[in-house]
Homo-oligomer: A and B are copies of this chain.
Amino acid sequence: MSKRILLEVAYDGTNYHGWQLQPNASSIEAVLNEHLSALLKEDIKVIGASRTDAGVHAKGNIAVFDTNARIPAEKISYALNQRLPEDIVIRQSREVDPDFHPRRQKSVKHYSYQIWHDRFPMPIGQNYMLFLYIPLDIDKMQQAASYLIGEHDFTSFCSIHTEVVDKVRTILSITVEEQDSVLKIDVTGTGFLYNMVRIIAGTLLEVGKGTYPPEHLKEILEARDRALAGPTVPAKGLTLVSYSFERM
């Protein structure tokens, strides 16, 4: 009797070409499939919740897979962590309903974008922060962020390289805070489009620099035109902090 197992997965994305399987490049998905298959002696294929891009990190991405193996679900994390490389860690494993699909359940995702905001780069943790030295008005960035909260058509904040048609998503909160030269943009929402968090961060940074006022975010949203929003900031500053479901 097959059962469905959920994994909570943390990884340092620096050395991977993202989550998703692809030819001739290492991906988190490929590494999980390989080590799960070896551990469980079955051909395992995981389904990921967030297919993070190359260089993006995660403290709590989610994957599920089906297995006939008799190992207790909770023990899979321990056994798999013995095999995985140091930059991928399973934080928990447990059985879920056989119809549980991580991208079809109602969920809340929390992403954090970090910027080292100082005169020179910071060597400690430089794989996890974008370096930027330019005056920024944090209050204006926070004010701009408020226009994005709620349900909107986020076409302007979505990479044009996507096939998704419905671009309405809901953002629950955005906070912009700087402490000890680390500027953090935290975004939570129930769904995100391709590159959406990185384009939001890039647009808030434009407001911070004074390129346009906070109110301009309303026009960018309404235009539904990717060209009007700010640049897609580099992947390495982005971490998927958590992915939580209404029901498990």
Separation of A177 and B86 alpha carbons in the complex (Å)? 26
When the two chains form their complex, are residues B123 and A86 in contact, meaning their CB atoms are under 8 A apart? yes
**A184 on the B face (CB < 8 A):** no
Q: Which residue of B lies closest to A84 (CB)?
A: B123
Q: What is the chain B residue whose CB lies nearest that of A59?
A: B124
Asked if B125 and A128 make an inter-chain contact with CB atoms under 8 angstroms apart, the answer reads yes
Contacting B at CB under 8 A, from A112-130, are 118-126, 128
Instruction: Evaluate contact between B57 and A124: CB separation under 8 angstroms.
Output: yes
Contacts of A91 in B (CB 8 A): 118-120
* A19 interfacial by beta-carbon distance below 8 Å: no
Q: Which residues of B contact A92 (CB under 8 A)?
A: 119
- Whether A89 is near chain B, meaning CB under 8 Å from some CB there, is yes
- Inter-chain contact A123/B87, CB cutoff 8 Å: yes
Say if the beta carbon of A88 comes within 8 Å of chain B. Answer: yes
Cβ of A12 under 8 Å from chain B: yes
Closest residue of chain B to A77 (Cβ to Cβ) is B120
The smallest C-beta distance from A72 to any residue of chain B, in angstroms, reads: 16
Pair B124/A12 contact, Cβ less than 8 Å: yes
Docked Cα-Cα span, A90 to B124, in Å, equals 13
| A1-33 interface with B by 8 A CB criterion | 10-12
Closest 7 CB pairs between A and B? A12-B123, A87-B123, A89-B120, A89-B123, A12-B124, A57-B124, A11-B123
Contacts A86-B123, A91-B118 known; list 7 others, CB within 8 Å.
Answer: A11-B124, A59-B122, A86-B121, A87-B126, A89-B120, A92-B119, A125-B128
